[in-house]
A and B are shown apart, each in its own frame.
Chain A
Amino acid sequence: TQLLEQSPQFLSIQEGENLTVYCNSSSVFSSLQWYRQEPGEGPVLLVTVVTGGEVKKLKRLTFQFGDARKDSSLHITAAQPGDTGLYLCAGVGHSGGSNYKLTFGKGTLLTVNP
């Protein structure tokens, strides 16, 4: 059983469409982060959400942390081919554990077709 379940695993859409990817867990986290990873590169931090119910926006990307701090979503508006990549969620401090290590999901591979 994965601690952090991401869905969908793969997503292929047309330019201009909207999409939402999900990160779910049965565990409570101190915070949740979203990363984007390109092939052969390290994950790049997009956002950190800490407070239950928190919403953060980064241009066309909207991130939400669930009220119970067990889940999160990433919504992209008007997707562009440059948004193509692997989106990873990572939790910090699950169930009162370490606040210094990240527990990653397996990721959502997004392809935006021109």
Chain B
Amino acid sequence: EPEVTQTPSHQVTQMGQEVILRCVPISNHLYFYWYRQILGQKVEFLVSFYNNEISEKSEIFDDQFSVERPDGSNFTLKIRSTKLEDSAMYFCASSDQGPYGYGYTFGSGTRLTVV
């Protein structure tokens, strides 16, 4: 079964530092996403990426955040100058057929702790 791979599984960083979360989506998928889940809260959409550009972003995804697909396989989320409230599970996802969410596959997540 194809899967979305995320690294690292855990990341602890000091407030104000930059972090890069990495994801390898399913190889034939075209749509890529980042979501986050603060402990005890619901999963929230951050950003979607298609054809090498951001297709949609939420109000959470401010100038502190950026995404990149530096090569044909990796998809990264960069958080500049992390804040305590950025502590959360960050999930990468990819899908193939776009509309309706068919084929949506999530990674196991990166637990980010900002201290």
Contact = CB atoms under 8 A, between A and B. Distances in A.
A66 interface: no
A49 to B, nearest CB: 9
Contact of A100 (B4, B99, B108, B111): B99
A43 B44 CA distance: 12
B56 A98 contact: yes
A99 B98 contact: yes
Interface string B61-89: 00000000000000000000000000001
Contacts of A98: 48, 56
Given A41-B108, A98-B56, A106 B42 contact: yes
A105 B42 contact: yes
B115 interface: no
Contact of B100 (A41, A50, A101): A50
B42 A45 contact: no
Interface in A77-114: 88, 90, 92-93, 98-107
Contact of A102 (B50, B104, B108): B104
Given A100-B48, A104-B43, A33 B109 contact: no
Most chain A CB atoms below 10 A, which of B42, B48, B111: B42
A73 to B, nearest CB: 18
A27 interface: no
Given A40-B108, A100-B50, A100-B98, 4 more contacts: A90-B43, A93-B100, A98-B56, A105-B42
28 contacts: A31-B100, A31-B101, A33-B101, A35-B106, A40-B111, A42-B107, A43-B43, A44-B106, A45-B104, A48-B100, A48-B101, A48-B104, A88-B42, A88-B43, A92-B100, A92-B101, A99-B98, A100-B33, A100-B56, A100-B99, A101-B45, A101-B56, A101-B58, A102-B101, A103-B45, A104-B44, A106-B41, A106-B42
Counting from the closest, the 3 A-B pairs by CB-CB distance are A42-B106, A99-B99, A31-B100
